Every structure is written in C-alpha cells, then in structure tokens.
C-alpha cells in the first residue's frame, strides 16, 4: 500500500516535469508528448507563464494531499478505515508540494526577492500561506505542539479564501472537506 501511495503522490510531479520539458527543444520528448496527446485525445494546457501554472499545480497537489492526510484520523474514528501508518507520508508529500509551490511562485517572479517581498507585504493571502507552510512543516516534529496543526489547516483555508476573487466548485469542495475534517477531529466521540 505504501508504494501505491508514493506512486500516486508522485503523479503531479511527473505531470509538472512533462509540462515543463514540453517545447524546450528536446525533439524526441516533444514527439512522445504529441503521440501521447493523440493517443489519449487530450492536450497539455497553453499558458502564458509556465512557472506560475506549475506553482498552481504544486499548490493544488499540496492541498489535496493535506486533505487526504487530515482525513486519515476521522476515517479511522468513524468508519474504522485505518490508514494511520500513512498519515505522516501523506503529510510529508503535502509539505513538499507546498514548498515547491512557494519556490515556483518565487521563480515565476524571476527570483527577485524585492518583488516577492513587496507581494508578501501587499497581499495578505501570501503571508497567510507562508505561515501555514511554516506551521505545517514544523509542528509535526514537536509532539507538544501537535494541536497547532489545526491552526495550520485554518491558515490554509484562509489562504484559499483570500487568494481567489471567485471560488470555483473545486475550491468550495476543498474548503468544505478541510472544514469538515477539522470539525470531525475536534468532536470527541
């Protein structure tokens, strides 16, 4: 089961690698991607800024892995579906994708720390997202701080709510699942 979870958690990273390399001048790779697009009747999205798009993919991957990791305990408590041994694995992948999300966001702005710093000061959702990353990456290593993870999840929800002008269906589903998971963990059974 561990190998299946690792493989599934690496699927977004494989997609990001394919998306990043496509059109970079590697002829055999471009031909392989075109063959795959024709074989599966799909195509890679066309975007203005590749790095910003990859940052978005990494962010969504981090979010869904966090949702899966956060739902392990309620699933065990309420329906006896036990995946507790994979909770840290899922959480680690989630933090890794969140860090990649941050690094690709900085790369999309040409690694200019002055520009990124101004963005962090002027846009609250960036500061909240960075706070969530810090909380979610540090607290699992200190057993006494483990309940602070709930604050990190609330910061992720705030990051999502402030980061988009309009909420799509997948935003609402993700926020609802995180909120419900938080409520189920806080309710004593």
pTM for this predicted structure: 0.88
pLDDT for 94: 93
Query: Residues 34-92: pLDDT tens digits?
Result: 999 999 888 888 888 899 999 999 999 999 999 998 888 877 777 777 777 888 888 89
What percentage of residues in the chain have a pLDDT greater than 70?
99
Whether the CB-CB separation of 12 and 57 falls below 8 Å is answered with yes
Q: Is pLDDT of 100 > 70?
A: yes
Radius of gyration (Cα) for the chain, nearest Å? 18
Query: Residues 117-132: pLDDT tens digits?
Result: 999 999 999 999 999 9
pLDDT for 101: 95
Whether the CB-CB separation of 49 and 20 falls below 8 Å is answered with no
Ramachandran region, residue 41 (left: φ > 0; alpha: ψ -120 to 50; beta: rest): left
Q: Is pLDDT of 189 > 60?
A: no
Q: Is pLDDT of 165 > 90?
A: no
Confidence of residue 115 (pLDDT cuts 50, 70, 90): very high
Whether the CB-CB separation of 101 and 130 falls below 8 Å is answered with no
- What span, in angstroms and rounded, lies between the C-alpha atoms of 92 and 8? 14
DSSP conformation class of 46? P
């Amino acid at each position: 089961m561990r190998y299946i979870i690792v493989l599934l958690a690496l699927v977004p990273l494989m997609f990001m690698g394919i998306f990043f390399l496509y059109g970079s001048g590697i002829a055999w790779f471009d031909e392989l991607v075109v063959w795959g697009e024709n074989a599966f009747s799909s195509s890679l999205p066309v975007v203005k800024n590749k790095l910003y798009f990859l940052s978005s993919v990494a962010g969504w991957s981090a979010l869904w892995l966090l949702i899966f990791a956060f739902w392990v305990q309620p699933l065990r408590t309420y329906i006896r579906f036990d995946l507790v041994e994979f909770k840290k694995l899922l959480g680690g992948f989630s933090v890794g994708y969140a860090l990649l999300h941050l690094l690709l966001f900085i790369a999309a702005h040409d690694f200019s720390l002055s520009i990124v710093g101004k963005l962090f000061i002027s846009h609250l959702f960036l500061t909240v997202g960075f706070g969530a990353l810090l909380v979610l990456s540090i607290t699992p290593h200190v057993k006494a701080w483990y309940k602070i993870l709930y604050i990190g999840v609330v910061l992720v929800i705030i990051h999502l709510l402030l980061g988009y002008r309009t909420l799509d269906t997948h935003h609402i589903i993700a926020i609802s699942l995180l909120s419900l998971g938080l409520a189920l963990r806080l309710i004593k059974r």
